[in-house]
Amino acid sequence: MTKTPPEALNIAPIATPLGSAQIVFDGAGVLRAFDWDSHRERMDRLLRRHYGGVALRDAPAPGELSDPFQAYFGGEAGALAAIPWATGGTVFQNRVWQALCEIPAGVTWSYGRLAQHIGAPSAVRAVGLANGANPVGLVVPCHRVIGANGSLTGYGGGLERKRWLLAHEGAELGRLL
């Protein structure tokens, strides 16, 4: 997490079994954003919100970022935890995003459980909004949050991708199908 926005950011494509994605990273190789090509507008909006009008430069992804993505999609469900990330956001959003990183691969939590985990049990809707504003999706695993009744709920990359990611990580989908 950072309060000082970078002057420029780098962007690189990442090939995945779910379609092409983009990673945005700073000069130190710290991930600042991830999103699917089909949701580029959303990623650009979140980048503007967190960093203002920072310039994006095409650059090759450093191995410290690309290797964990390859390992994750190759079957190592916990590989993304090795990726360093930073973002803007409010104090509350950052609490939610840090808590998301505590949900193990293959496990799902409800929004209510996430709210309780951060000590704000009445803030379920605010937790949902913070979850949806996560600019480093997948690495900060917002896809692991589901409805209180066990149903799939919104995901910035689409519900089919969410379903695939949860199955890939070994989550018991049961009612989620």
Residues annotated as catalytic are 142
- Pick from 102, 134, 141, 135: nearest CA to 118: 102
Q: What's the CA gap between 73 and 81, in Å, rounded?
A: 13
CA 3 from centre of chain: 19
Instruction: Report phi then psi at 171, rounded to 5.
Output: -70, 145
Question: From CA 17, how far away is CA 82, in angstroms rounded?
Answer: 20
Identify the three-state secondary structure at position 85.
Answer: strand
